[in-house]
């Protein structure tokens, strides 16, 4: 069957329409200005016009090179107002700790049986926790869980004997963060339906958590840039002085 051709006029019209939409949502935002956090959040909320409840995201440019082990940034932040997202949590545990995980509200709980299921590529969860004694088995799933950012790690509290606390944290809105190749850390910290105050509190908590996770190998300016956006909206640059009390520099 012959492929339907798309006319140049149709392509041009689509591009023009997209350009108009982009221009419309960017109207009133100065790309060269760093806004106070309260104003930045207001601008983002005003432009979140999608038919679904858009996620509000924070992106941070850091003065690190994650190729070097002593410049890796990783951690977890407990958002004071939650993330607005219901996480499905899996726990690798045995015996009483497995029972504890179920009582705490974990969606998937298991040991060898769960390892076998996940090893075959079945992943029906988006947060993963393990007790320390399970890591010998869970470690075999590195190629499956690692690329998805799901590998339990003691540094972010997902390898722990405090199963109840970890499950409730994951369910309650804690977010993990990890610096990417370009020195960028980003995370969803709430929904456009949240109040401005709730979003501001969550953003400040996230930026503060990243600031406290500054690695020893980072030299010079650590937090270079902070911006906020909604799923379908433009990025708004934030004045770092309004989101963290003392931006680490050395």
Which residues, 6+ apart, have CB-to-CB distance to 167 below 8 Å?
89, 91, 101, 104, 105, 106, 129
What is the sign, positive or negative, of the torsion defined by CA atoms of 175, 176, 180, 185? positive
Give the C-alpha separation, 64 to 68, whole Å. 9
Residue 48, helix vs strand vs coil: coil
Strands 89-92 and 127-130: parallel
Distances (CA, A) of 20 to 46, 50, 51, 149: 17, 16, 19, 36
Output the pLDDT for position 123. 93
**Arithmetic mean of pLDDT over the chain:** 88
pLDDT, one tens digit for every residue, the chain (250 residues):
444 455 555 545 544 445 555 556 667 788 889 999 999 999 999 999 899 999 999 999 999 998 898 999 988 898 999 989 888 999 999 999 999 999 999 999 999 999 999 999 999 998 999 999 999 999 999 999 999 889 999 988 999 999 999 999 888 888 889 999 889 999 999 999 999 999 999 999 999 999 999 998 888 899 999 999 999 999 999 999 999 765 444 4
Fold (CATH) for 33-83+174-242: Ribulose 1,5 Bisphosphate Carboxylase/Oxygenase (3.30.190)
Fold (CATH) for 89-163: Rossmann fold (3.40.50)
Output the pLDDT for position 219. 87
Output the pLDDT for position 155. 86
Give the start-to-end residue ranges of the domains of the chain: 33-83+174-242, 89-163
């Amino acid at each position: 069957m012959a492929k339907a051709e798309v006319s140049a006029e149709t392509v041009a019209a689509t591009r023009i329409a997209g350009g108009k939409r982009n221009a419309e949502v960017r109207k009133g935002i100065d790309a060269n200005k760093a806004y106070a956090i309260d104003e930045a959040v207001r601008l983002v909320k005003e432009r979140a016009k999608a038919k679904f409840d858009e996620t509000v995201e924070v992106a941070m440019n850091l003065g690190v090179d994650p190729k070097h082990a002593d410049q890796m940034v990783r951690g977890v932040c407990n958002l004071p107002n939650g993330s607005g997202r219901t996480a499905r949590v899996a726990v690798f545990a045995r015996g009483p700790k497995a029972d504890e995980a179920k009582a705490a509200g974990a969606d998937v709980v298991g040991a060898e049986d769960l390892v076998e299921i996940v090893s075959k590529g079945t992943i029906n969860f988006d947060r993963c926790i393990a007790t320390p004694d399970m890591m010998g088995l869970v470690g075999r799933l590195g190629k499956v869980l690692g690329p998805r950012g799901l590998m339990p790690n003691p540094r972010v509290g997902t390898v722990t004997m405090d199963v109840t606390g970890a499950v409730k944290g994951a369910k309650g809105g804690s977010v993990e963060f990890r610096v990417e190749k370009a020195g960028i850390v980003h995370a969803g910290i709430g929904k456009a339906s949240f109040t401005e105050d709730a979003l501001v509190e969550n953003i400040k908590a996230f930026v503060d958590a990243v600031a406290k996770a500054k690695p020893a190998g980072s030299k010079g300016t650590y937090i270079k840039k902070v911006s906020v956006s909604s799923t379908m909206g433009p990025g708004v640059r934030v004045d770092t002085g309004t989101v963290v009390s003392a931006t680490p520099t050395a």
